[in-house]
A and B are shown apart, each in its own frame.
Chain A
Amino acid sequence: MQKKIATREAYGNALAEIGEDTRIVVMDADLSKSTKTEVFRKKYPERFFNMGIAEANMMSAAAGLASCGKVVFASTFAMFAAGRAFEQVRNSICYPALNVKIGASHAGLTVGEDGASHQVIEDISLMRSIPNMIVISPADAVEARQATIAASKIDGPVYLRLSRLAVPVLFDESTYKFELGKGVTLSEGTDVTIISTGYMTGKAVEAVEQLKSQGISARLVNIHTIKPIDKDIIIKAAKETGAIVTCEEHTVMGGFGSAVAEVLIENYPVPVKMVGVQDKFGKSGKPDELIKMYGLTAEDIVNKAKEAIALKKA
Chain B
Amino acid sequence: MNEDQIKELKKCSVILRKHIIEQVYNAQSGHPGGSLSCADIITVLYFNVMRVDPKNPQWEDRDRFVLSKGHCSPALYAALAEKGFFPKEELPKFRRIDSFLEGHPSMRYVPGVDMSTGSLGQGISAAVGMAIAGKIDNKDSNVYALIGDGETQEGQVWEALMAAAHYKLDNLIVFLDHNHLQIDGNISDVMSPEPVEEKFKAFGWKVVAINGHDHLQIIEAINEAKKSKGKPTMIVAETIKGKGVSFMENEAGWHGVAPDREQAEKAKAELDAVLAGMEV
Query: Which residues of A approach B to under 8 Å, CB–CB?
Result: 25, 46-47, 49, 51-52, 54, 56-57, 59-70, 72, 87-88, 91-92, 95-97
Contacts and interface: CB of A to CB of B under 8 A. Distances in A.
A222 to B, nearest CB: 34
B162 interface: yes
A307 B131 CA distance: 57
Q: Most chain-A Cβ atoms within 10 A of its Cβ — which of B108, B119, B126?
A: B126
Given A57-B160, A92-B126, A96-B106, A70 B133 contact: yes
B232 interface: no
B134 A57 contact: no
Nearest to B107: A96
A91 B106 contact: no
Given A56-B155, A91-B118, A91-B122, A65 B130 contact: yes
B67 interface: no
Q: Which 5 A-B pairs have the closest CB atoms?
A: A64-B129, A60-B125, A61-B129, A57-B159, A68-B133
13 contacts: A25-B132, A57-B163, A59-B125, A60-B156, A61-B129, A61-B132, A63-B122, A63-B125, A64-B127, A64-B128, A64-B130, A65-B133, A72-B129
B133 A60 contact: no
Given A60-B126, A63-B122, A68-B64, 8 more contacts: A46-B136, A52-B163, A64-B131, A65-B130, A68-B60, A68-B129, A92-B119, A92-B126
Nearest to B139: A68
B136 A25 contact: yes
Contacts of A64: 66, 115, 125-133
Contacts of B166: 52
B133 A63 contact: no
Q: Most chain-A Cβ atoms within 10 A of its Cβ — which of B118, B159, B160, B162?
A: B159
Contact of B160 (A25, A61, A72): A61
Interface string B134-177: 10110000000000000000011001101100110000000000
Contacts of A96: 106-108, 115-116
A69 B132 CA distance: 12
Interface of B: 60, 64, 66, 106-108, 114-116, 118-119, 121-123, 125-134, 136-137, 155-156, 159-160, 162-163, 166-167
B126 to A, nearest CB: 4
A44 to B, nearest CB: 11
A32 to B, nearest CB: 16
Interface majority SS (helix, strand, loop, mixed), chain B: helix
Contacts of A72: 129
B164 to A, nearest CB: 9
A30 to B, nearest CB: 12
B163 A51 contact: yes
Contacts of B129: 60-68, 72
Contacts of B159: 52, 54, 56-57
A62 B114 CA distance: 14
A95 B116 contact: yes
Q: Most chain-A Cβ atoms within 10 A of its Cβ — which of B123, B130, B137, B166?
A: B130
B162 to A, nearest CB: 7
Given A67-B107, A96-B116, A56 B156 contact: yes
A56 B116 contact: no
B107 to A, nearest CB: 5
Given A56-B156, A57-B128, A92 B162 contact: no
Q: Most chain-A Cβ atoms within 10 A of its Cβ — which of B128, B129, B132, B156?
A: B129
A63 B137 CA distance: 17
Contacts of B134: 68
B68 to A, nearest CB: 10
A61 B114 contact: no
A169 to B, nearest CB: 35
A62 to B, nearest CB: 6
B115 A61 contact: no
B116 A61 contact: no
A36 B151 CA distance: 35
A101 to B, nearest CB: 14
Given A52-B163, A57-B159, A96-B115, A63 B126 contact: yes
B114 A67 contact: yes
Nearest to A96: B116
Contacts of A57: 125, 128, 156, 159-160, 162-163
A76 to B, nearest CB: 13
A48 B47 CA distance: 36
A65 B139 CA distance: 13
B128 A61 contact: yes
Contacts of B136: 25, 46-47, 70
A66 B108 CA distance: 13
A62 B130 CA distance: 9
